[in-house]
């Protein structure tokens, strides 16, 4: 197979990789914020909040990411919420935002389950001891439960980051110049059906493999603590 096109096109792959990582980073970041709130709702004793969180989580996990992406990309402007339309570093900011929002909304549901499981894995005696000393619920959560839950949560969040990087290829559909989109552009320009996609696949793999090794290390360190 001939990879000589890389000489001319390597910039496409580099910029695409940057966009992919940036997108995944923001998606997980906002996903964590959404996820923490949902997890708190889910474990609260308030039936209404619990219900909201359950519906959100079930709905997001039960529908394709592509549908969610289109609902946000086409649906929000239809409802009068316009995305900005100007380029930054060669990437349309509005498209990028739509991608980040869709991915965060999606990831939030999964992160919520990660947090819920992590929190519920902490012995319930810890919360009782904190409350018995007179610490309010949120203080107990923040000072006692979450720091211990983090041990279980951190590696799982690393895995979620890996999943998001892979799934993010789908946002190329709305014109975000991520790794997938740029690889496809190179394929069109060079009339090579195969090699540019192989390059993209290898880059995705190197990123996710490195990350999963890192997560593995993290798990080991958390275990020995």
Partner 1 sequence: MNMIEINKLNKYFGDLHVLKDIDLKVKEGEVVSVIGPSGSGKSTLLRCLNRLEEPSSGDIIFEDISIMDDEQHDINELRQKMGMVFQQFNLFNHMNVMENITLAPIKLKKINKNEAKKIALDLLEKVGLLNKADAYPSQLSGGQKQRIAIARALAMSPDVMLFDEPTSALDPEMVGDVLEVMKNLAAEGMTMVIVTHEMSFARDVADRVVIMDAGNIIEEGNPKKIFNNPEHPRAKDFLSRVLNLF
| Calpha distance 37→98 (Å, rounded) | 21
Whichever of 88 and 133 has its CB closer to partner 1, that residue is 133
Question: Do residues 195 and 9 touch, judged by C-beta distance below 8 A?
Answer: no
Indicate the SS3 state at residue 88.
strand
Whichever of 61 and 221 has its CB closer to partner 1, that residue is 221
Residue with tokens 């990437």: 91
We find the least distance from the C-beta atom of residue 119 to partner 1, in angstroms, to be: 14
Give contact residues for partner 1 (rule: CB under 8 A).
123, 125-126, 128-136, 139, 143-144, 147-148
| Calpha distance 146→189 (Å, rounded) | 51
First to last CA, the chain: 48
Whichever of 167 and 219 has its CB closer to partner 1, that residue is 219
We find the least distance from the C-beta atom of residue 142 to partner 1, in angstroms, to be: 10
Q: Which of 68-106 are b and which e, b meaning 16 or more Cβ less than 10 Å from the residue's Cβ? A: bbeebbeebeeeeeebeeeeeeebbebbbbbbbbbbbbb
We find the least distance from the C-beta atom of residue 143 to partner 1, in angstroms, to be: 7
We find the least distance from the C-beta atom of residue 139 to partner 1, in angstroms, to be: 7
| Calpha distance 222→71 (Å, rounded) | 39
We find the least distance from the C-beta atom of residue 51 to partner 1, in angstroms, to be: 21
- Length of the chain in terms of residues written: 225
Whichever of 148 and 212 has its CB closer to partner 1, that residue is 148
Whichever of 126 and 190 has its CB closer to partner 1, that residue is 126
């Amino acid at each position: 197979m001939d990879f000589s096109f890389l000489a001319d096109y390597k910039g496409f792959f580099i910029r695409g990789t940057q966009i992919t990582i940036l997108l995944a980073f923001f998606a997980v970041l906002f996903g964590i914020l959404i996820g923490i709130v949902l997890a708190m709702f889910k474990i609260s004793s308030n039936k209404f909040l619990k219900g909201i969180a359950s519906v959100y989580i079930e709905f997001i996990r039960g529908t394709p990411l592509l549908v969610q992406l289109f609902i946000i990309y086409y649906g929000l402007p239809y409802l009068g919420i316009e995305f900005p339309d100007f380029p930054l570093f060669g990437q349309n900011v509005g498209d990028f935002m739509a991608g980040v929002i869709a991915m965060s909304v999606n990831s939030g549901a999964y992160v919520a389950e990660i947090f819920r499981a992590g929190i519920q894995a902490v012995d319930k005696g810890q919360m009782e001891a904190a409350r018995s000393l007179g610490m309010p619920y949120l203080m107990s959560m923040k000072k006692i439960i979450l720091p211990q839950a983090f041990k279980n949560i951190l590696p799982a969040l690393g895995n979620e980051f890996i999943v998001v990087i892979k799934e993010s290829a789908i946002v190329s559909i709305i014109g975000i110049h991520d790794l997938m989109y740029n690889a496809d552009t190179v394929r069109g320009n060079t009339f090579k059906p195969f090699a540019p996609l192989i390059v993209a696949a290898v880059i995705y793999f190197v990123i996710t493999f490195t990350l999963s090794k890192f997560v593995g290390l993290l798990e080991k360190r958390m275990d020995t603590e």
